[in-house]
Amino acid sequence: MRGSFAYLVKQDALRWKRSGTTKTWFWTYVALIAIAVVGIITVWSLKGRFDPLVLLFCTFGFPYMTFMFAYTMLHREWKNGTYGWWLTLPYPRLWLVAAKYLSALLQVLLFYAVCYVVTLLLTLYGKGLDGSLQPDRFFGFAKMTSLWYGLLIAYAPFMLAFGLLSGTVAQSRWKPLMPIMWLGFAVSGNMVLWLSKFWDDRVWNRSDWGAFVTYKWPVWLSVALPSTLLVAILFVLMSAKIVERHLTT
């Protein structure tokens, strides 16, 4: 049917749509967290102890969250008892799986974008407050943030695909392999972060918040990241295969 694939993607994206009361709770929490964060930064700035790198350290959990996001998207059909409807939809299994993947990807990218913007805004605010805001410093920091988020975003498709694959494996006759999947999850979550040597002391000058010394983009990263994309595609195809033939329903 025309537009079915697009609709499937949309459906999974809007699954987080909340009803009246939980919507209020959600935004209340967001507001509270926002107030807390701004408050903490304000206090630190006024004491002259706000290092915006903290904001980047907060992103260490992102690859894990990304994996779990995709995993949940699949697991949810079973948890909520709707898998019967999903599996009997008259579309290729690859569509079903790819729709979930695409939906997750779009949401995750949106989330990263929002965090990126918020990071820069909070830095402007915090450093503006303690008086050390200078254009070249800020742009140095912005460059660093951009590079870092670039890495995160480049790595996201792989983590999403891995999460999706794990989700399907968990419902298939390959379920006994789950411990290996979880191990992979634990290891790969931080792999790029450490191996990229981004947080090496020779890359940036800790005492000087915006002084970006130099980041030499490791050659292997230029090879590794596109490879992760290929692996991601492979994982999505494997997920489709598992859904088609190997589920234990």
Query: Where on the chain is the footprint of other proteins (CB under 8 A)?
Result: 1, 3-4, 7-8, 11, 14-15, 17-19, 80-82, 84-85, 87-93, 245, 247-249
Name every residue whose Cβ is closer than 8 Å to that of residue 212 and which is 6 or more positions away in sequence.
Answer: 140, 141, 143, 144, 203, 204, 205
Q: What is the CA radius of gyration of the chain?
A: 21
* CA distances, 69 to each of 48, 101, 106, 148, 159 (Å): 37, 10, 12, 21, 9
> Shortest approach of other proteins to residue 65 CB, angstroms?
21
> Shortest approach of other proteins to residue 7 CB, angstroms?
4
List the one residue out of 234, 249, 248 whose CA is nearest residue 97: 234
Name every residue whose Cβ is closer than 8 Å to that of residue 163 and which is 6 or more positions away in sequence.
Answer: 66, 67, 68, 69, 70, 71, 72, 73, 104, 185
Closer residue to other proteins (CB): 17 or 49: 17
> Shortest approach of other proteins to residue 15 CB, angstroms?
6
Closer residue to other proteins (CB): 22 or 205: 22
> Shortest approach of other proteins to residue 76 CB, angstroms?
10
Angle of CA points 41, 45, 50, to nearest 5°: 75
Closer residue to other proteins (CB): 129 or 247: 247
List the one residue out of 206, 221, 241 whose CA is nearest residue 154: 221
Angle separating helix axes 62-79 and 178-195, nearest 10 degrees = 160
> Shortest approach of other proteins to residue 17 CB, angstroms?
5
Closer residue to other proteins (CB): 90 or 131: 90
Closer residue to other proteins (CB): 95 or 125: 95
CB 102 within 8 A of CB 13: no
> Shortest approach of other proteins to residue 244 CB, angstroms?
8
Closer residue to other proteins (CB): 100 or 127: 100
